[in-house]
Structure 1
Amino acid sequence: MKPRDAVSLISKIREKTNRYIISEMAKYGVDDIAISHGDIIFALFHSPRLTMADIAKRIDKDKSTVTALVDKLVRLGYVTKERDSVDSRVVYVALTPRGEELKPVFETISQQMLEVFYFDISDQEKEELLRILMKIHHNF
């Protein structure tokens, strides 16, 4: 396999994964958010209150992109924004009850996706794949 073929394959896997997630979310009636919105919601499942800067770091997006994504999530009722009482430049984001309702949906879809992803792959192959992916990640 040529290096260019590997890049193309990685791109195709990412595209298929995104399509899978969107399709599964639609089955649960969640069709108003994109993958990038899901990244923010997922981050908030692990830390119930984050600053915009923290979200930007966690999902590896610039602050202006995160602001636009969070603003849409606010309009849709999934999150709230609140300014810090001491430093008004700091904005906190938290899930609303509607956003919290997505947790079991996200968990189910994540589990299903992992089952598809690792179908017919041995534990040894999983470890090797993870090791190689970590190396690639660190290269950047």
Structure 2
Amino acid sequence: MTAIDLGEDPLALERQVCFALSVASRTVIGIYRPLLEPLGLTHPQYLVMLALWERSPRSVRDLCQALHAEPATLSPMLKRLEAIGYVTRERNRADERELSVTLTPEGRSLRSEAEKIPYRVVETLGMEVSELQELHAALTRVIAAATRADAP
């Protein structure tokens, strides 16, 4: 194994991966906020809707896995999405422990408006799609590595 060289000051703020990820996350989510507002969605709710637009119905367990979220985090979002009429939640008749989440017709029709959002985000960022694809691939590797490191 080769030695890790973190330079002269391994604690320099501008060199920290966690700092860059944190600032980038807040800034990019800030771009989404005004785009999602007319849809009545927060960014976390938008992520839930993205997962449901891929496949509906889905179990809460499946949504948690897809979104890397805990049930306690997802539950209030699902309640709110149900209250605004985008999803329904119901117990699986075969297994009462499983809660199924399904898009309503209103939730399905919202997709056509939401399809405009990625284009607006790319325009706002002013970056090439290829750059964003490379960034996405790198972040996916970071997530996988962090998940492996976090595994018991």
TM above 0.5, yes or no, is: yes
Structure 2 counterpart SS, 1:77: coil
Residue 30 of structure 1 corresponds to: 39
State the aligned residue count. Answer: 134
**3-state DSSP of counterpart to 2:97:** coil
Residue 131 of structure 1 and its aligned partner are, at CA, apart by 4.7
TM-score norm. by structure 1 comes to 0.81
- Runs of at least 5 residues in structure 2 that lack an aligned partner in the other structure: 1-11, 147-152
**Cα 1:114/1:84, change in 2 over 3 Å:** same
- Bigger RCO of structures 1 and 2 (CA < 8 A, at least 6 apart): 1
1:137 match:
143
Q: Give, in angstroms, the shift of residue 49 of structure 1.
A: 0.6
Q: Which has the larger radius of gyration?
A: 2
| Structure 2 residue 48 is the aligned partner of structure 1 residue 19 | no
Of all paired residues, the percent bearing the same amino acid is 20
- TM-score calculated relative to the size of structure 2: 0.76
Which amino acid counterpart does residue 120 of structure 2 have in structure 1?
Q
Q: CA 1:22/1:129 → structure 2, altered by over 3 Å: closer, same or farther?
A: closer
Question: Are the equivalent residues in 1 in contact too, given 2:59–2:100 (CA < 8 A)?
Answer: yes
Q: Is the 8 A contact 1:25 1:105 kept in 2?
A: no
| Separation (CA, whole Å) in 2 of partners of 1:129 and 1:22 | 21
